[in-house]
Each structure stands twice: as C-alpha cells, then as structure tokens.
Amino acid sequence: MGKRLFLLFCLMFLISATCKSQEIGKVYSKEEAKVKFGAVIESVIFSAGDFRNILTGTEKVVMMKIVNGNVIILGDGRKVLYPQDAKVNSTDPFSLCSKSKMLELLGLSDSSTLSFEQRKEHFTISYGMSTLEDVVVCPPFCLFDANINVVIQK
C-alpha cells in the first residue's frame, strides 16, 4: 500500500511539473487525427464566433464534454461558460486544454463552424482542416486554479 501511494504521488508530481512548463493540447491535420485517434463517434457542430465569445470568459483553460448531444464548456476553476444554466458536478470528467492552444486552432481557418468530437478514447475539436487533441481529463488532472498555479485536484 505504501509503495502504491508513493508511486501515485511521484506520478502526480511528474505530471504537475511537466504541465507547468507546457501548454495542454496539440494541433494535428484532420487526416493525421483520424489515423491517430480513430473515427468520430459523436460530434456537435458549434458556431466559431459564439465559441470565440465564450472563450473570453476564461484566462488559461477550457474544458469540454458532450452530454446528450450537446456540448458543455467550462473555464478556469470549472466555471460553467456554456450553457450558462448547465449543472456540473465536481466529479464529472471534462477534457481540458489550454486556451492558448484553442486560440491557435481558431487562427488556422476562417470557417464559420467548429466540431466538438467524441472518438472511441479521445475528445477532439476540429476546425477547418485541423484538429486539436492531446488534452487531459479533469478530474483527476485539473491543472490550473483561479490563481493560475498548477495544482492536482483530488
């Protein structure tokens, strides 16, 4: 039991130290994403303009999840950004990425829509000919608190 707890602590520390110096998320071509992450199982089409406006409600991270055919979007500290009346439990897992990576994706096209996509084991966001992935799941890895310090949420 003691060894497992120590290994878990070391793993969490390593992830925390790694994420402190890196942005979360990576942009791929749509073709590369399909090969690497598999086919899209479920997707939600969303206005790119509306999404840009929603992103103004967060400074560092954005979290997303598809629930019953609709997307729920959270910001820093798991603050609900869209839809504003969504009910979210602290234990509900969301896919988290850096806001800066999301803005990078949005800068690669002038398409009017983007697509939130659930694949077999991955959550992706596609816009134009690009796809964002390499996100983390929160919880357990909710990497930024309100003071923009890296934390591990238990």
Evaluate whether residue 17 is within a structural domain: yes
Evaluate whether residue 54 is within a structural domain: yes
- Predicted local confidence at residue 109, as pLDDT: 96
Evaluate whether residue 51 is within a structural domain: yes
Evaluate whether residue 28 is within a structural domain: yes
Evaluate whether residue 24 is within a structural domain: yes
Q: DSSP letters of 129-154? A: TEEEE--EEETT---B-TT--B----
Whichever domain contains 123, its CATH number is: 3.10.150
Evaluate whether residue 148 is within a structural domain: no
Contact 108, 34 (CB under 8 A): no
Evaluate whether residue 68 is within a structural domain: yes
Q: DSSP letters of the chain? A: -HHHHHHHHHHHHHHHHHHHTS-S-EEEEHHHHHHHH--EEEEEEEEHHHHHHHHTT-SSEEEEEEETTEEEEE-GGG-EEESTT----TT--EEEEEHHHHHHHHTT---SEEEEEEESS-EEEEETTEEEE--EEETT---B-TT--B----
Reply yes or no on whether the pLDDT at 140 is more than 90. no
User: pLDDT tens across 99-128, in order?
Assistant: 999 999 999 999 999 999 999 999 999 999
Evaluate whether residue 38 is within a structural domain: yes
Q: 46: domain range? A: 2-138
> Please, which pLDDT band fits residue 57 given cuts at 50, 70 and 90?
very high
Q: How many structural domains is the chain composed of?
A: 1
| pTM of this structure | 0.79
Contact 46, 129 (CB under 8 A): no
Reply yes or no on whether the pLDDT at 95 is more than 70. yes
User: pLDDT tens across 71-81, in order?
Assistant: 999 999 999 99
Percent of the chain with pLDDT over 90: 75
